[in-house]
Structure 1
Amino acid sequence: MPTRARTRAYGRRIMATMAAGLAMTALSGCDSHSSEPPAAKPRHVTVRGSGQVQGVPDTLTADVGIEFIAPDATTAMNQANDRQRAVIDALVGAGMDRKDIRTTRVSLQPQYGDSEPSGTATITSYRADNALEIKIHPPDAASRLLELIVSTGGDAARISSVSYSIADDSKLVTEARARAFEDAKSRAEQYAQLSGLRLGDVLSISEATGAAPAEGAPAPRAMTEVPLEPGQQAVAFSVNVVWELN
């Protein structure tokens, strides 16, 4: 009898353990079914829009210089300095602001002759080269001021390049930005329509700006009346926009 009672008690413990295990399994199954699935990535379209606005340049930048060659370094440097000072004084006297005149280079280099029979090259002279960057606004005065540089600098005068720019292009950039966005939106709406969807919220915007070089800015060749033409300068803007599709 005691053995039979122990057997029944042991059986009851096994049944209780199995029931508890089944209950835990059932609860676990309920939790897994009630969890929400991961959010799906929204459908979207990415387009690149561009806008461009033309503006008339209002500033001419010229790289000019004075170059002298002399038998010794001191003479070459003094001659270049004196002639450059005369050019600067002439520009200021003609109405230029000193803040628009900037020294960009001061150079002194030995000049070598033919090599000796021993293979050693000898110094025959020295070349002094001083350079200025001048900003002229309005650019209508550029021809007169470039002629002044050459007449004051004489044979030592050098004009390396001229370029046009727009001093304040903020309004042009604003308009180009608006055109770029409208271009992007128009493209996105077309893609949405083609795919049978509607354009939703903007998800992201990234932008890039750039200014196209001015057209019609020839470098001066003759020093009677320099035929300078400012042409037009394009302010370009690009924007990448991501829209949600519904």
Structure 2
Amino acid sequence: MIHKTAIIDSGAELASDVEVGPYTFIESDVTIGEGTVIGPNVNIKSYTSIGPRCHIHTGAVLGGTPQDLNFDGGKSYVTIGANCQIREGVTINRGTQPDSTTEIGDDCFLMALSHFGHNVKLGNKVIVANGALLGGYVEVGDQAFISGNCILHQFVTIGRLAMLGGGCGASKDVPPFCLMKPLEANKIIGLNSVGLRRSELSKDDRQEIKEAFKILFLSGLNIRPAVEKIKSAYPSGPAYELAIFIDESERGICVM
């Protein structure tokens, strides 16, 4: 199960059925869960934890020190959940501050050459396509889809079930359920209708989101009164989630 050319530090903890490909290097203080497959030429650095049934492909570097001048060499972490696919050349950096963590949720699919900076937090079932770059402290909600070559500024938050079109940039927060225009910055063009239909949301929930979207972007109201109108009309559920996301945004949100 472990290729003879792989180098695994005695301080690493691997489940008994983990597979490790040729020329892979695994440092001390690494844990890898059962059923996980590590491909060839992978580098897994110290303080990295990988859950069960993941597949790490050729050339990935997991747990590298953060690309942050504030990093002082303290112990920080990368945690990767269960059932994740991490494709060729993906890089995931540790947190900057001591004891902080870069977190990848369960069932995530991280495609080739995507990068996840220090202290990034991905929810569950997030898909990130080839070449996307996530700066430090970016947070991504469950089931979001980030298309190829997107650029996410540090500290940006991406809401649940949002979709970012290919090559777009985000320096402001992207509200849940929204669709960003390809090849432009901070531009919303509608709802992620396909993602909403494929999700667990009911027909009534999807209709509620559509009505809230109209209030927010198509009613002619400014953002603050639009948010208050949504909260008044929908005191719970996904529309309320959308309103609260905007309430809590520190960077401001992308707009149409």
Question: TM-score, normalising length from structure 1?
Answer: 0.20
Q: Which has the higher strand share?
A: 1
Q: Which has the higher helix share?
A: 1
